[in-house]
């Protein structure tokens, strides 16, 4: 097959990807709508929903226990037991059940719908154990609850405090070092079942019990299998296409297309952006495979300062090339070899490299779908399904970019006098991307100084200092007006840098010191007032200091743009301030991405920032309150209200 035929085949394949991209959202939306139906629409129930436990102390000192069992589920009579550490094991009396040929344990006695039991001989704290399954094959891990007599002085132990997260199935890597044990046999299942884990820490007298909503992939797979997972994650990616996860890539793609000049056609634009998006999707799939192998988020690790600085320098070099200071060329021998295959059609390899690196470094967004896929992979080791879901997520996020490639030839100027200005404009865009990357590893005032220099340079290039006469064209006058605006903005950023400001969107914040003092005197919290921790030991100490109080843990980092938005716009909201009044806020800082930060993420079951965890006064995580990615004031207020005393 010759080069021309290969090129045609590649274009046809990319057209196919683009057309499928247009069809998959409808399938995902239809399937997602079906997932929201009340019956059977969300996959297997959580253990708490499948087996609702109620206990009530009787006048004679016995404990009445009742189980409401959801339709389609059953509870093992043999596995409803009690145990005590002091050796004085209480006695439990249960009702007769029904005989069942169980695929996991053979012929056993089980209960459906409802059952009751009575525990007697209670001399102190004891533990109640139970286990159940779904008729379709899903078998839950053993559950337990610590019971303390009302007149006992003992408090619930760490295993009792961890009951809620044990029932919810927190993945093993979200645990602290304390081991979890169970006397009940481990159950197997055709569907993926959560792995039991109790998360607690005895250090510094602190206890921490987490729950995690990690059933996104498993729930979708249980409903519609592999195809539904892929279609749904493509839909999730499409919804994320207009978020900060993707928008920083638009100028990169536009610059790549603009460099094609007169050779840019719809087919060529689609080929370049299609390659870019496929590389994005491959990078997402690789993230899943690496997560399965190492249990770590490669995208998070790529935020190390040397990596970020290297990529920022690359964009700076591209900017200087766009300004005409030099021309980037391959060695002549390699250029001739590439030209023999591709002719004068440019390089798809460059687009692939840009797409791959941009996914890992430029857009480090942690969203609910991404976190759900990572948790599923880490929990089950199913790299195939997890990586497929992430690959589809990358394709969905790239639809906007492929549209830019398809219609870019009609939007971007052709070769001529225009192209000199266009190349310079993209040079400033590349410098802006470089500064944005450096903001993750460089101090705030230095970043404001760089923005000031960039804006002033852009203002001069646009003609902000020029004088225009009657003969000046409307376009030049418009450019001059934009140049004046850029000069003013650059001057403001420069003043902010000199005054020690760190937020480019609020460069004059230091001059509002009186307002800040007034806010502090009125009890308004900012993220600076939070307790900041960077190690597991510091977290233990902070939790010990907050003993008996509800806690909000917010995972944050200096390079996390969404975290800055939360600190700037969400935390100061009056509704959030009111909800935080009786809550202890702790900021878990993972800016450094070192071993202590990795240990924190593993312990909390967090993929990356921003993730907010809400703990009840006994430091057990409130079910269904965790927030990942995009956080708004109403969402945050709702979660905080769940842990209010």
- Per-residue pLDDT tens digits for 347-363: 677 777 777 766 665 55
How many structural domains are present in the chain? 4
Task: Report the alpha-carbon distance of residue 586 to residue 64 in Å, rounded.
Answer: 39
Q: What is the pLDDT of residue 172?
A: 33
Q: Answer yes or no: is pLDDT of 331 > 70.
A: no
For residue 371, which of 15, 154, 86, 611 has the smallest C-alpha distance?
611
d(CA 215, CA 237): 18
User: Do 480 and 554 share a domain, yes or no?
Assistant: no
Q: Within a domain: residue 134? A: yes
pLDDT band at 584 (very low <50, low <70, confident <90, very high): very high
Q: Give 1's pLDDT tier (boundaries 50, 70, 90).
A: very low
Choosing from 179, 197, 215, the residue where a domain stops is 197
CB atoms within 10 A of CB 107: 8
Does pLDDT of 526 surpass 90? no
208 located within any domain: no
Burial of 604 (0-12, 13-18, 19+ CB in 10 A): buried
Residue 519 has pLDDT above 60, yes or no: no
Closest Cα to residue 187, out of 196, 178, 179? Answer: 196
Please report, for residues 162, 246, 301, 440, the alpha-carbon distance to residue 364 in angstroms, rounded to integers and kept in the order given.
32, 10, 10, 11
**380-405 mean pLDDT:** 74
Predicted confidence band of residue 253 (pLDDT cuts 50, 70, 90): confident
Instruction: Give pLDDT, residue 363.
Output: 52
Q: 62-76, 90-104, 247-261 — which is least confidently predicted?
A: 247-261
Residue 506: band (very low, low, confident or very high) from pLDDT cuts 50, 70, 90: confident
**Average pLDDT of the chain to the nearest whole number:** 70
My answer on whether 481 and 377 are in the same domain is no
Residue with tokens 């509704």: 575
Over pLDDT 90: what percentage of the chain? 13
If asked whether residues 458 and 545 sit together in one domain, one would say no
- pLDDT confidence tier of residue 124, bands split at 50, 70 and 90: confident
Q: Whole-prediction pTM value?
A: 0.42
Indicate the range of 56-60, 79-83, 236-240, 328-332 predicted with least confidence.
328-332
Q: Which of 446-460, 488-502, 559-573, 607-621 bottoms out in mean pLDDT, i.e. has the lowest? A: 559-573
Give domain status of residue 39, yes or no. Answer: no
| CA separation for the pair 581, 462 (Å, rounded) | 49
**Is residue 58 packed enough to be buried (19+ CB in 10 Å), middle (13-18) or exposed (0-12)?**
exposed
Are residue 411 and residue 482 in the same domain, yes or no? Answer: no
Residue 66 has pLDDT above 80, yes or no: yes
Whether residue 430 sits in one domain with residue 470: no
From CA 244, how far away is CA 398, in angstroms rounded? 13
The reply to whether 369 and 271 lie within a common domain is yes
- Is residue 476 located within the same domain as residue 575? no
| Within-domain flag for 210 | no
pLDDT at residue 218 is higher than 60: no
Distances (CA, A) of 415 to 52, 326, 343, 412, 526: 70, 19, 19, 10, 51
Cis peptide before 610 (omega within 30 of 0): yes
Dihedral sign (CA 624, 627, 630, 634)? positive
* Assigned domain for 32 exists: no
Of 197, 214, 229, which one is at a domain's C-terminal end?
197
- Return the CATH number at 67: 2.60.40.1250
Find the mean pLDDT for residues 280-301.
Answer: 64
pLDDT in tens, 177-189: 333 333 333 333 3
C-beta of residue 425 within 8 angstroms of C-beta of residue 459: no
Instruction: State the residue range of the domain holding 450.
Output: 444-501
Between 192 and 611, residue with greater pLDDT: 611
Judge if 275 and 350 occupy the same domain. Answer: yes
pLDDT band at 118, cuts 50/70/90? very high
**Helix axes 332-342 and 3-35, enclosed angle (nearest 10):** 70
Report the half-sphere exposure of 411 (CA within 13 A, side-chain side): 11
């Amino acid at each position: 097959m010759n080069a021309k035929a290969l090129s045609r085949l590649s274009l046809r394949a990319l057209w196919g990807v683009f057309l499928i991209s247009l069809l998959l959202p409808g399938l995902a939306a239809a399937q997602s709508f079906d997932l929201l139906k009340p019956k059977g629409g969300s996959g297997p129930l959580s253990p708490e929903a499948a087996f609702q436990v109620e206990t009530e102390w009787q006048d004679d000192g016995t404990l009445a226990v009742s189980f409401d069992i959801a339709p389609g589920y059953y509870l093992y009579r043999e596995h409803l037991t009690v145990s005590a550490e002091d050796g004085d094991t209480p006695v439990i009396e249960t009702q007769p059940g029904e005989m069942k040929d169980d695929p996991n344990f053979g012929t056993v006695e089980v209960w459906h719908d409802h059952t009751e039991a009575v525990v007697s001989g209670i001399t102190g704290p004891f533990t109640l154990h139970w286990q159940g399954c779904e008729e379709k094959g899903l078998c839950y891990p053993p559950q337990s609850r610590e019971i303390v007599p009302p007149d006992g002085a003992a408090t619930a132990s760490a295993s009792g405090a961890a009951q809620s997260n044990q029932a919810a199935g927190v993945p093993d890597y979200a645990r602290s070092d304390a081991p979890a044990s169970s006397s009940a046999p481990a159950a197997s299942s055709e569907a993926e079942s959560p792995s039991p884990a109790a998360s607690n820490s005895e250090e510094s007298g602190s206890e921490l019990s987490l729950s995690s909503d990690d059933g996104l992939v498993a729930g979708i797979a249980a409903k519609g299998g592999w195809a539904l997972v892929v279609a749904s994650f493509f839909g999730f990616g499409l919804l994320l296409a207009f978020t900060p996860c993707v928008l920083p890539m638009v100028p990169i793609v536009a610059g790549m297309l603009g460099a094609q000049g007169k050779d840019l056609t719809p087919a060529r634009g689609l080929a370049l952006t299609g390659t870019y998006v496929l590389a994005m999707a491959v990078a997402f799939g690789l993230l899943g495979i690496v997560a399965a192998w190492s249990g770590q988020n490669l995208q998070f690790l790529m935020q190390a300062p040397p990596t970020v600085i290297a990529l920022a320098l690359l964009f700076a070099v591209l900017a200087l090339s766009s300004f005409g200071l030099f021309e980037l060329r391959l060695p002549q021998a390699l250029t001739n070899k590439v030209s023999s295959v591709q002719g004068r059609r440019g390089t798809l390899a460059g687009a692939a490299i840009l797409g791959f690196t941009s996914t890992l470094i430029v857009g480090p967004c942690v969203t609910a779908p991404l976190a759900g896929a990572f948790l599923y992979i880490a929990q089950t080791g199913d790299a195939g399904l997890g990586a497929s879901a992430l690959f589809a997520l990358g394709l969905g996020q790239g639809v906007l970019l492929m549209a830019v490639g398809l219609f870019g030839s009609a939007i971007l100027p052709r070769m001529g006098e225009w192209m000199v200005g266009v190349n310079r404009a993209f040079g400033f865009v590349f410098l802006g991307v470089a500064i944005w990357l450096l903001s993750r590893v460089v101090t705030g005032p230095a970043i404001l100084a760089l923005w000031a220099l960039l804006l002033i340079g852009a203002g001069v290039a646009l003609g902000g200092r020029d004088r225009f006469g009657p003969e000046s064209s409307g376009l030049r006058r418009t450019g001059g007006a934009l140049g004046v605006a850029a000069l003013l903005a650059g001057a403001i950023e420069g003043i902010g840098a000199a005054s020690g400001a760190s937020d480019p969107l609020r460069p004059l914040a230091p001059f509002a010191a009186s307002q800040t003092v007034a806010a502090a005197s009125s009890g308004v919290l900012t993220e600076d007032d939070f307790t900041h921790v960077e190690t597991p030991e510091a977290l233990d100490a902070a939790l010990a200091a907050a003993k008996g109080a509800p806690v909000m843990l917010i995972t944050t980092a200096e390079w996390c743009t969404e975290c800055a938005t939360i600190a700037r716009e969400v935390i100061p909201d009056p509704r959030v301030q009111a909800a935080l009044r009786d809550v202890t806020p702790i900021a878990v800082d993972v800016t450094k991405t070192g071993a202590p930060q990795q240990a924190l993420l593993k312990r909390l079951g967090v993929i990356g920032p921003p993730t907010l965890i809400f703990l009840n006064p006994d430091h057990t995580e409130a079910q269904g309150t965790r927030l990942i990615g995009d956080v708004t004031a109403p969402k945050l207020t709702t979660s905080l209200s769940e842990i209010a005393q």
